[in-house]
Structure 1
Amino acid sequence: MSLSAGVMAGAAGTTALDAVTYLDMLVRGRPASDVPAEAADRLASRAGLDLGPGDVGVNRRTGLGALLGYGAGIGVGALYGLLADGGRPPLPVAALGLSAAAMAAGDLPLVALGLTDPRRWDTVSWISDIVPHLVYGLTTAVVHRRLTCHRSRQSG
């Protein structure tokens, strides 16, 4: 039950992260990031996959980049579900841990691929990365808690 609860909580957290990101784009009028598509392109190249030329290739890179983000968010939730199966950390601890894990899952591969360097980010860039991940962490923790609270009451 906890793995499936983690997957569902991670999906909810990822949706919340995306909503906050799109709200930021709306408020500030900023464009979508090209970094996920660039990461998809580099990963596909390393795997020997050709995503195609022209608009078809651009669209595939964009789609794969988004799917990799969903995979990271759902994967972090699934891992949390497995780890939380043995106990229930306090909500603030769970939310901050999930936020940090999601940031690491999203940012470290981009750093490893040479697509970004957080040491060079300005304050606005850090806030633009931290806030959606905090929303992810809180949403994922709350949803997981709600999905597993019945089971906890039964065993307690």
Structure 2
Amino acid sequence: MTTPIHRTPTPDTSRYRPNAGLVVRNRKGLVFTAERAGKPGAWQLPQGGIDEGENPLDAALREFFEETGIPATDLKLVKEMPDWIGYNLPQELLKGSRLEKMGLVGQCQKWFLFDYVGDDSTIDLTKAHDHEFDSWAWRPAAEIVELTIAFRKPVYRTVLDELLK
């Protein structure tokens, strides 16, 4: 089943958790992906919640550092999607989750494209504040949608098509 997405110029925080996502590409045009800790084969793009009063760009950079240990100085902002992308979490994931307890049904995301200007040899996920990922890889954008969990596919398809065009 495909999870529908919706686009809005501002986030609907009454029903959706505000979130920032990153598409980070290297000099070869490949995109950074990470495999969720303890979930072999669960690959995704970096993303995370926006704290109260935090702007989306700062949240994206903070989350990327917390999740990967890669500092903001290794990223160069290329562009930002104009709209927020919202989606509902599937019921089986929402049931009993922190989002459900907060009265929310999904996430609304602000996405950014960055160029990675650092050196791959310095990427070390063990330096990350949050141990969200076990491994990472640079991948062609076309592979990423197929590698992610079903409910994220429409989001990734939209984001990658728009940011990388």
Structure number with greater CO (CA < 8 Å, separation at least 6) is 1
Structure number with bigger Rg: 1
TM-score > 0.5 by shorter chain: no
Greater strand share, 1 or 2? 2
Greater helix share, 1 or 2? 1
- Per the normalisation by structure 1, the TM-score is 0.29
- Per the normalisation by structure 2, the TM-score is 0.28
